[in-house]
Amino acid sequence: MEESTLMDRARENWIGYLFILPTFLMFTLLFYFPIVRGVYMTFTNARLGGAGTFVGLDNYMWLLTNDLFHFAFGWTLAFVFGTTFLQLFIGLFAALLLSELKSGWREWASAIVMSPYFSAPLAGGVIWLWFLNSDFGMLPRLITDIFGVSTPAFLAEDLWPYVSLIVAQSWHDYGYAGIIYAAAIVGIPREQYEAAALAGAGRLRRFRDVTLPHLVTPTIVILALRTAWNVAEFAQPFELTGGGPGTRTMLMSILTYETAYVNLQFARAYTLGMAMIVISMTAAIFYVTVIQDEEEMYV
Amino acid sequence: MARVKFDDVTKVFEDTSGPIVAVEELSLDIPDGEFVVFVGPSGCGKSTTLRMLAGLESITDGEIRLDDQPINQMSPRDRDIAMVFQSYALYPHKTVRQNMGYGLQLSTDLSDEEVDRRVVEAAEMMGIEDLLDKKPGSLSGGQQQRVATGRAIVREPAVFLFDEPLSNLDAQLRKHMRTELSRIHSELGITTIYVTHDQEEAMTMADRIVILNDGKLQQVGTPKEVYYRPANAFVADFIGSPSMNFFDVDLRTESDGSGTLAGEGISYAVSNDVVEMVGGDGEYTLGIRPENLRIDSTAPDAKTFEAEVDVVEVIGSDNFLYLEVGGKECRVRAPVEIEPAEGETVDVTFDESDLHLFDRNTEEALVHGHERADAEPRTIEQEA
């Protein structure tokens, strides 16, 4: 066959190109251009309002030598790991309990159990603030009244703020894992449980041999998405501790905000954002690799 | 191996719209080693009965006994029953070998080598020894069916249950698997209960057929019994393909004791034997199988009725004629030489010994041919 040049093919398919042109233009304008510009910005000293001048790798050097960034990076990893897995387990537990309910009851119970996920993160922050605050919070007062002991400051003392942030964030988002797990559990054919019961498998055994294998794929989907979102989680932790006391609970998301809008260092904020992307993408690549192994489970 | 006994077994489902009786006072005795087929239209309670026996459904009332031991309160794992599901219910993440060995590993204390030996043995019986290390996802429907059956065989249970196991296969494979399942039953001799909605499957495989409708037992009998001596109009209609023709007729008795069945375009003289058996004048339903009707212009007028040919279906071995009699469809299974033109009027007759008469109100069978309904069943040889 004759070799066709690029121009030949463009002339042949011009109607097709015409149709994708508007989408391509909008994507370039609203998506690719900002990304490329943002990446370029990390090589400048841009502040709010100005384009800045080219400074090479200065921002990245600042990042790598900054103690607060080191701390925020480590704490973000711990926060993401803690919340993601807590969400996974609580969500699985909720889904399993819901699957035991009769249809009719199940829908209402699901709506109630999943409701934190549908609440605005800021509202969630307010709830936990009213719950944990040492001055007016419900939990410290309850403990003091019932047991007669004073409680630590849940949002300020020792390891408590870390625990509080992870627990509060897990509370807000476990519903996501719950919804996906519930759908997966409903989809498991009932006959497989019945066959296992006839084969002599008890309840725990059926859970291990029938339910769990069907939950591998949903688990990976939840892990991948929740990891990315938990890396970027901002509203609720910001409201509860604001990264404090001092900078003791500084997450990368809060650090990015402060760099951009308190210190007005937009270029550095964007550089921080690049580090967050690296975390999410590394996790995503890891999960995708696992999914490929998982697909081999069925052949 | 075991004898299965149902004693007035009833199953009621509670629904938002009120209770639904799925099975009503079913009593049945299945001797050890028999191959019994439950057949009936969807919703007749056949699967529910099977699931009660397996322990997957509670029993509302009555008792099920396995070798004279009541099993109502026994958990499924203690019943020593293996079941093959319509969907096969194979575990997708386990290999064929693991699927088949699962029950043995859980319910027996056999060594791994012994389990594997039995799995291989069952796999050879089902002709799937090459598939042992594959997973169900990479098998065809027919292969999955074999694995599911093999998984049941390997446990050597007291009772085999099959819940429409061949419904998801294509027609040719289904016929092949029928023979194969019959062969396995005769090799192992394990009591087998098989549920299907396909009457042909029931006729070809069963030692005895149990016909259910609306949760009620209609008839229990060998394939020949239910075919030649259906207990009521439902069984007569359900068993046999194409299904039996029914005509609403009135019996008029003549002075000499004989009579005439008349109605819906039919007039047919019957002997005094038939009159005597039904007990005189009255309203009846006449049933006559398509294979017993003949196109014959030489038959006596009193035993003939006229019909107009509607459609002729040539299927090779026979011709199916769809006739119109008194505004109703009448199906005839005719030999290949008989191929009337559509629209033609033909004379139709049948032998008195082939007629069935049913009470029009209760639909209970009153007469089968010449013999009383309570007489010994006839064999095909006598029929011919």
Interchain contact, A297 vs B93, CB within 8 Å: yes
What is the Cα–Cα distance from B55 to B78, expressed in whole angstroms? Answer: 9
Interchain contact, A189 vs B87, CB within 8 Å: yes
Q: Indicate if the pLDDT at residue B380 is higher than 50.
A: no
Q: What percent of chain B has pLDDT over 90?
A: 58
The pLDDT-based confidence of B374 (bands split at 50, 70, 90) is very low
Shortest CB distance from B106 goes to which of A191, A201, A214? A201
The pLDDT-based confidence of A298 (bands split at 50, 70, 90) is low
Residues B206 and B294 in one domain: no
Residues B204 and B351 in one domain: no
Is the ipTM higher than 0.90? The answer is: no
What is the CA angle B327-B331-B335, rounded to 5?
140
Specify if B384 maps to a domain: no
Chain B contact for A52 (CB, 8 A cutoff):
no
Query: So what's the pLDDT on residue B277?
Result: 82
* B93 contact residues in A (CB cutoff 8 A): 213, 297-298
Specify if B353 maps to a domain: yes
Residues B42 and B67 in one domain: yes
Mean pLDDT of B84-89: 92
Residues B272 and B351 in one domain: yes
Query: So what's the pLDDT on residue A49?
Result: 73
Report the first-to-last Cα separation within chain B, whole angstroms.
Answer: 38
Chain B contact for A191 (CB, 8 A cutoff):
yes
Query: So what's the pLDDT on residue B378?
Result: 42
Q: Please state the φ and ψ torsions of residue B202, each to the nearest 5 degrees.
A: -60, -45
Assign residue B206 the CATH number of its domain. 3.40.50.300
Cβ within 8 Å of residue B93, ≥6 positions away: A213, A297, A298, B135
Q: Indicate if the pLDDT at residue A2 is higher than 60.
A: no
Interchain contact, A298 vs B107, CB within 8 Å: no
Specify if B68 maps to a domain: yes
Tokens of A69: 């960034």
Q: Indicate if the pLDDT at residue B245 is higher than 60.
A: yes
Query: So what's the pLDDT on residue B246?
Result: 93
Mean pLDDT of B364-372: 72
The pLDDT-based confidence of A294 (bands split at 50, 70, 90) is low
Helix (H), strand (E) at residue B152: helix B141-153
Strands B18-30 and B69-70: unpaired
Chain B contact for A197 (CB, 8 A cutoff):
yes
| CB B260 within 8 Å of CB B254 | yes
Query: So what's the pLDDT on residue A12?
Result: 83
- End residue of a domain, out of B218, B234, B250: B234
Tracing tokens 């192994």 back to the chain, one arrives at A293
Conformational region of residue B363, where left means phi above 0, alpha means psi within -120 to 50, and beta covers everything else: left
Residues B212 and B106 in one domain: yes
What is the Cα–Cα distance from B346 to B305, expressed in whole angstroms? Answer: 8
Mean pLDDT of chain B: 88
Q: Indicate if the pLDDT at residue B368 is higher than 90.
A: no
Residues B259 and B226 in one domain: no
Question: Domains in chain A, start-ordered, CATH in brackets?
Answer: 65-298 (1.10.3720.10)
Residues B144 and B173 in one domain: yes
Assign residue B328 the CATH number of its domain. 2.40.50.140
- pLDDT tens digits, one per residue of B302-316: 889 989 999 999 988
Domain housing B266: 242-371
Residues B248 and B225 in one domain: no
- End residue of a domain, out of B234, B255, B280: B234
One-letter amino acid of A152: P
Cα dihedral A74, A77, A79, A85 sign:
negative
- pLDDT tens digits, one per residue of B25-74: 999 999 999 999 999 998 899 999 999 999 999 999 999 999 989 999 99
* A197 contact residues in B (CB cutoff 8 A): 55-56, 75-77
Q: Is A6 exposed, middle or buried (0-12, 13-18, 19+ CB in 10 A)?
A: exposed
Residues B34 and B156 in one domain: yes
Query: So what's the pLDDT on residue B130?
Result: 92
Interchain contact, A199 vs B93, CB within 8 Å: no
Shortest CB distance from A195 goes to which of B75, B85, B138? B85
Other beta carbons within 10 Å of A137: 19
- pLDDT tens digits, one per residue of B217-242: 999 999 999 999 999 999 999 998 88
Residues B41 and B60 in one domain: yes
Mean pLDDT of B279-299: 89
Specify if B381 maps to a domain: no
Specify if B206 maps to a domain: yes
What is the Cα–Cα distance from B177 to B184, expressed in whole angstroms? Answer: 10
- End residue of a domain, out of B173, B199, B234: B234
Interface test with A, best of B102, B139, B163 (most A CBs within 10 A): B102
Mean pLDDT of B154-167: 92
Query: So what's the pLDDT on residue A46?
Result: 83
Shortest CB distance from A189 goes to which of B75, B89, B107? B89
Specify if B380 maps to a domain: no
Nearest CA to CA, how far is B153 from chain A (Å)?
12
Chain B contact for A215 (CB, 8 A cutoff):
no
Query: So what's the pLDDT on residue B384?
Result: 34
pTM over 0.90: no
- pLDDT tens digits, one per residue of A159-218: 888 999 999 999 999 999 999 999 999 899 999 999 999 998 888 999 999 999 999 888
Nearest to B212 by CA among B50, B379, B15, B375: B50
| CB B52 within 8 Å of CB B59 | yes
Chain B contact for A204 (CB, 8 A cutoff):
no
Chain B contact for A189 (CB, 8 A cutoff):
yes
Q: Indicate if the pLDDT at residue A50 is higher than 80.
A: no
Residues B23 and B62 in one domain: yes
Specify if B377 maps to a domain: no
Specify if B21 maps to a domain: yes
**DSSP H helical ranges for chain A:** 6-12, 14-27, 33-41, 58-65, 67-100, 105-118, 121-132, 138-147, 160-186, 190-199, 203-206, 212-214, 216-231, 235-240, 252-257, 266-295
Interchain contact, A200 vs B103, CB within 8 Å: yes
* A200 contact residues in B (CB cutoff 8 A): 77, 103, 106-107
Number of domains in chain B: 2
Residues B246 and B291 in one domain: yes
What is the Cα–Cα distance from B79 to B158, expressed in whole angstroms? Answer: 8
Shortest CB distance from A197 goes to which of B77, B93, B137? B77
Q: Indicate if the pLDDT at residue A21 is higher than 90.
A: yes
Interchain contact, A198 vs B92, CB within 8 Å: no
A223 HSE (CA, 13 A, CB side): 19
Interchain contact, A191 vs B89, CB within 8 Å: yes
Chain B contact for A196 (CB, 8 A cutoff):
yes
| Least reliable range by pLDDT among A109-118, A216-225, A285-294, B198-207 | A285-294
Interchain contact, B102 vs A209, CB within 8 Å: yes
